[in-house]
Amino acid sequence: MLWANITLYRSGGVGGDRTGTGHYPLLAMSFSLSRKQGFDTTGVGYETADLPVLLPGQSRVDPTVFDPRDWFGPDRRGLPFELEIGSGKGTFLVQQSVLQPGVNFLGIEYARAFCRYAADRVRRNAIANVKLLHAEAGFFVQCYIPDGIVERVHIYFPDPWPKARHHKRRLVQEPFLRMVHSRLVSRGCIRLATDHTDYFEWMCDHASRVSDLFVVEPFENTASAGEGELVGSNFERKYRREGRPFHAMVLRKIG
């Protein structure tokens, strides 16, 4: 399955090979982050190793044994729960969480240095409604997220994997969308933004394959977005300086 494969492809590097040249410039950046700084992720950052182990024959963890919403503590129990997949350095989470203090946000990021950087940033800013998990998101959502609990899934500037032979590594595709659908609350949504025109066409194609589950809606900019921005994430700002075009949409759960 897609999300199992993604783990194997991790060595492809943070950000993927956008250029199609076989180079992964952000991988080096990821390592330099981890070498230069010691991050304190106490109370904010979680590792895949912190998750309960799946028992033989189990494909999902029993939600009475583990529920990621418990990471936010008893005072925040019952609040809306949102995910960001591929949260990078955590810019969207840090900006958006202060505008929505009544929402619990979990960022999932499989580049460990970025994840730890984001968790340290959240801790330094004493933000109580954001947690970070270092994990492959497809695996985590499949095995550890109970059904019907996620209000919104944010996926901003996901790795485009531009080479045709790598398209199968793209996060946004039909099996993934079907799986996420079951984890969303009624009328929950997936919010997608990319600078990559070919990947956006691919997203539209895969959205059309799940038209039994989702309707496509226009993307409303996040509250944290600055002037002329969709979201205001790190990659959006970098790509805006480069003059790249942006594409975005919302997939709203039917029912």
Ligand X SMILES: C[S@@+](CC[C@H](N)C(=O)[O-])C[C@H]1O[C@@H](n2cnc3c(N)ncnc32)[C@H](O)[C@@H]1O
- Residue 127 or 155: the one with the smaller Cβ distance to ligand X is 155
Nearer to ligand X, 114 or 214 (CB): 114
Q: How many CB atoms lie under 10 A from the CB of residue 242?
A: 7
**Shortest Cβ distance from residue 88 to ligand X (Å)?**
3
What's the min distance (Å) between Cβ of 135 and ligand X? 7
- Check if the beta carbon of residue 231 is closer than 8 Å to that of residue 220: no
With 0-12 / 13-18 / 19 or more C-beta atoms within 10 angstroms meaning exposed / middle / buried, residue 203 is: buried
Considering 62, 70, 147, 159, which one is annotated as catalytic?
Answer: 159
Q: Which residue has the tokens 């230069």?
A: 36
Q: Report the DSSP beta bridge partners of residue 215.
A: 252
Applying CB under 6 A, the residues found at the interface with ligand X are 6, 14-15, 85-88, 108-111, 114, 136-138, 156-159, 171, 233-236
Q: Minimum CB separation from ligand X for residue 143, in Å? A: 13
Query: Which residue lies nearer to ligand X by CB, 144 or 156?
Result: 156
Contact yes or no for 119/192 (Cβ under 8 A): no
Residue 117, token pair as written in the block:
């950087």
- The DSSP string of 127-185 is -TTEEEEES-HHHHHHHHSPTT-EEEEEEES-----SGGGGGG-S-SHHHHHHHHHHEE
- With CB atoms as reference, the residue minimizing the distance to ligand X is 86
Give the nearest distance from C-beta 216 to ligand X in angstroms.
21
Q: Is 70 a catalytic residue?
A: no
Nearer to ligand X, 129 or 173 (CB): 173
Q: Which is nearer to ligand X, 120 or 236 (CB)?
A: 236
Q: How would you label 118-147 residue by residue, b for 16+ Cβ within 10 Å and e otherwise? A: bbbbbbeeebebbbbbbbbbbbbbbbbbbe
CA dihedral angle for residue 126, residue 131, residue 136, residue 142, rounded to 10 degrees? -170
Q: Which amino acid is it at 124?
A: R
To ligand X, the closest distance from the beta carbon of 95 in angstroms equals 11
The DSSP 8-state label assigned to residue 249 in this structure reads: E
Which are the catalytic amino acids?
Answer: 159
